[in-house]
Structure 1
Amino acid sequence: MNNAPIESGNTSNSGVDVEDNSENEEDDDFDDDDNTPPSALFGSSRYHTDFVELGILGRGGGGEVVKVKNRLDRRIYAIKKILLENGKDKFLQNKKLLREVTTISSVMHKNIVRYYQAWVEGNYKTDASVDHTKKQSILYIQMEYCNTTLRKLLDENAISEMNQSEVWRLVRQIVEALVYIHSRRIIHRDLKPGNIFIDSDLNIILGDFGLATRRHEKSNNKITETEYPEMDAIYNAVEEGMMSSTKGIKGDTSYGVKADIYSLGIMIFEMFCPAFATYMERSETLNRLRSGTPDERFPAAFTTSAPPNAKEIIIWCLERDPTKRPSAEELLKVSRQ
């Protein structure tokens, strides 16, 4: 039975105290006081021994993210569970999945999700979505739990109800997180409102590094298309969409950190744009922003309500040529003005 930790320099987040908040005080009535110890129920399963599941936060093709409470410290955490299939043909796939552990364990920033520990166990029954008859292992990644996401706040019109200075504060926090990861040669590559978490104090927490990668010096500081699965297309940089052809921008079929900047431009637009009435309206508006003529890109409702510098920054971020887009450091300077 495999219950092996994944070693890293930051597996326990030692030296970092986790502040108490209301989220860690809820759900105190879960039944973990049964006379039967967890170890007797689940053998040597670290997951079942240490945690109680409180609910599903999200599911994907290869696993799920659950809200849990630690039986010992009684704090709330998020744990990502990812299936690791056996077989030689699955080796590369598993290696890519483990990239998230390596990436998030190397970062420590106030606006980036905190990583606590990760380990691999054998095939334990946890939920129907990860209940398999084949011999498989499950990768568990224990992370900071956040109350909500930027996507949810946008959908609930909470962002549009904020004053502009508060929206700028959120934008700057996203940019500060990008400055940090880009300085460490990390490209997030899946930047979208659903991966921007919000804590109980309404601070930005950049998360979900499942598609993140390091830029390798020997590959000219860029990454190539064949390494990664698809993302939400609406936030893709234009050079990523061109990767399906034999040539990218100026004949190049790879991209760098400026892909994150393009995605950020789309998000800044959403954050300053008045609430959309329907999903269709949102989709059509964002597609015009990406590919419309200069006069069509910005709807009248945005032009009349958003601060002028927001429009300028968005245009800068959405330059089709990545070399003409700002760096995260440059954006941080102008967003503070």
Structure 2
Amino acid sequence: MLFGIISGYYFDYILYEGAWFETGVTDSYGDPAGDSRTPASSTFSYNVASSNDAVGRENQLESTYLYIQMEYCPRTLRQMFESYNHFDKELAWHLFRQIVEGLAHIHGQGIIHRDLTPSNIFFDARNDIKIGDFGLAKFLKLEQLDQDLAHPTDTTGVSIDGTGQVGTYFYTAPEIEQGWPKIDEKADMYSLGVVFFELWHPFGTAMERHVVLSDLKQKGELPPAWVAEFPEQESLLRQLMSLGPSDRPSATELLHNAFPPRMESELLDGK
């Protein structure tokens, strides 16, 4: 199984006088998410004029263009949800496992995402999962935890459907909403729980999604028919969305305990 870490559909960076600058991002929605966006490679140029204007324009340095273009991913998990034609249990397990494997890798590098949502989970050209948009990510390092203690009200990058907190409302862990000074990777596991529910409960309309996720977020209530049909999934969902971070399983624990026997196709593919 292949998984990767990206920060959107297209990302272009340039190196200028020893510093990296992000120059453009775009996705299939074309929505602005910060700075200006471009459909593909962006450029940054600068001119350096001769100190002696009399020398003439021929001595002026040529503009320099530096490009770094990263992988293009054609769609997101949110787009897949919106185009669902029929529910596939094997596909739900398959996608969930890839997301968990990606999180296990990220957390193993000491990184917490803090904004894991279907809009930040991408498909590459092979339909493998890529976790992206690390604009709110943090490293679990002592110096950064100390910095968090000194600045507990950081709200940069608040999503448009948020409530003033860092992240995206339906997916934000309680400890982030409550402004805990120390956040660990279990915050991502809460977000994963909501994504897991959406994998197993396709919504017919945007209003249905809003009502059901609001009940889940605010009251911990799930549709009775869904609970009756998927009792094992409900149990896992409750664990992932536990109010206490220590009660949530880690991504590594999920990989060992949460999945049915791997599908033959996965084994043959070496995934």
- Same topology, TM > 0.5: yes
Offset of 1:220 from its aligned partner? 5.6
Q: 1:285 to 1:162 in 2, by over 3 A?
A: closer
**Stretches of structure 2 lacking an aligned partner (at least 5 in a row):** 1-13, 48-65, 159-166, 261-271
CA distance in 1, matches of 2:130, 2:235: 25
Which amino acid letter does the alignment assign opposite residue 233 of structure 1? Answer: Y
C-alpha displacement of 1:223: 4.4
Aligned position for 1:63: 36
Q: Counterpart of 1:205?
A: 130
Q: Give the secondary-structure state (helix, strand or coil) at the position aligned to 1:143.
A: coil
Alignment counterpart, residue 267 of structure 1, candidates 187, 192, 195: 195
Instruction: Tell me the CA shift for residue 55 of structure 1.
Output: 8.0
Residues 77 and 121, structure 2, Cα contact 8 Å, conserved in 1? yes
The question of whether the paired residues in 2 share the 8 Å contact of 1:4 and 1:121 is answered with no
Query: Take 1:241 and 1:271, find their aligned partners in 2: how far apart are those partners?
Result: 24
Q: 1:272 to 1:63 in 2, by over 3 A?
A: same
1:184 counterpart residue number: 109
Give CA-to-partner distance per residue, 1:191-216, whole Å, 9 cap, x none: 00000001233221111111111111
Q: Report how far residue 301 of structure 1 moved.
A: 3.7
- Per the normalisation by structure 1, the TM-score is 0.56
**Cα distance change of structure 1 residues 314 and 6 upon mapping to structure 2, 3 Å threshold:** farther
Aligned Cα RMSD in Å? 3.3
Alignment counterpart, residue 169 of structure 2, candidates 233, 237, 257: 233
Distance 1:162 1:336 in 2: 18
Are the counterparts in 2 of residues 221 and 256 from structure 1 also a CA contact under 8 Å? Answer: no
Of 102, 118, 135, the match for 1:193: 118
Code of the residue aligned with 1:324 in structure 2: it is D
Determine if the alignment matches structure 1 residue 170 to structure 2 residue 95: yes
* Residue of 259, 267, 270 corresponding to 1:336: 259
Report the secondary structure of 2:203's partner residue: coil
Please state how far the C-alpha of 1:143 moved relative to its aligned partner.
2.2
Distance in 1 of aligned mates of 2:138 and 2:17: 18
- Equivalenced residue count is 215
Paired residues of 2:145 and 2:182 also in contact (CA < 8 A)? no
Cα gap change, 1:55 to 1:179, in 2 (>3 Å)? closer
Give deviations 1:37-72, integer Å, cap 9, x for gaps.
xxxxxxxxxx9xxxxx998743123232x433xxxx
1:179 and 1:329 in contact (8 A); partners too: yes
Q: Is the 8 A contact 2:28 2:74 kept in 1?
A: no
C-alpha deviation, 1:146, in angstroms: 0.9
Separation in 2, partners of 1:333, 1:222 = 34
Q: Are 1:303 and 2:230 an aligned pair? A: no
Distance 1:54 1:259 in 2: 26
Aligned equivalents of 1:140, 1:304: Cα separation in 2: 54
The farther-off stretch of 226-235 and 166-175 is 226-235
Cα distance change, pair 4–233 in 1 and its aligned pair in 2 (3 A) = same
Structure 1 residue 298: deviation in Å? 1.2
Cα distance change, pair 264–141 in 1 and its aligned pair in 2 (3 A): farther
Gaps of 5+ in 1: 12-46, 48-52, 69-78, 82-118, 124-138
Q: 1:4 aligns with which of 1, 6, 15?
A: 15
1:120 Cα deviation from its structure 2 partner: 5.8
Q: Determine the structure 2 residue equivalent to 1:154.
A: 81
- Which residue of the other structure, out of 324, 327, 335, is the alignment partner of 2:250? 327
Is this contact kept in 2: 1:150–1:194, CA < 8 A?
yes
In terms of fraction of residues, the more strand-rich structure is: 1
Give the letter aligned to residue 244 of structure 2: D
What's the counterpart of residue 214 of structure 1? 139
2:110–2:139: 8 Å Cα contact kept in structure 1?
yes
What's 1:284 paired with? 211
| 8 Å CA contact retained: 2:28, 2:75 | no
Deviates more, 1:231-240 or 1:54-63: 54-63
In structure 2, C-alpha distance between the alignment counterparts of 1:228 and 1:141, rounded to whole Å: 30
Return the TM-score normalized by structure 2. 0.68
- Are the aligned partners of 1:198 and 1:205 in contact in 2 as well (CA < 8 Å)? yes
Offset, 1:122: 5.6
Amino acid at match of 1:176: E
Contact 1:56-1:67 within 8 A present in 2 as well: no
Q: Secondary structure at the match of 1:144?
A: coil
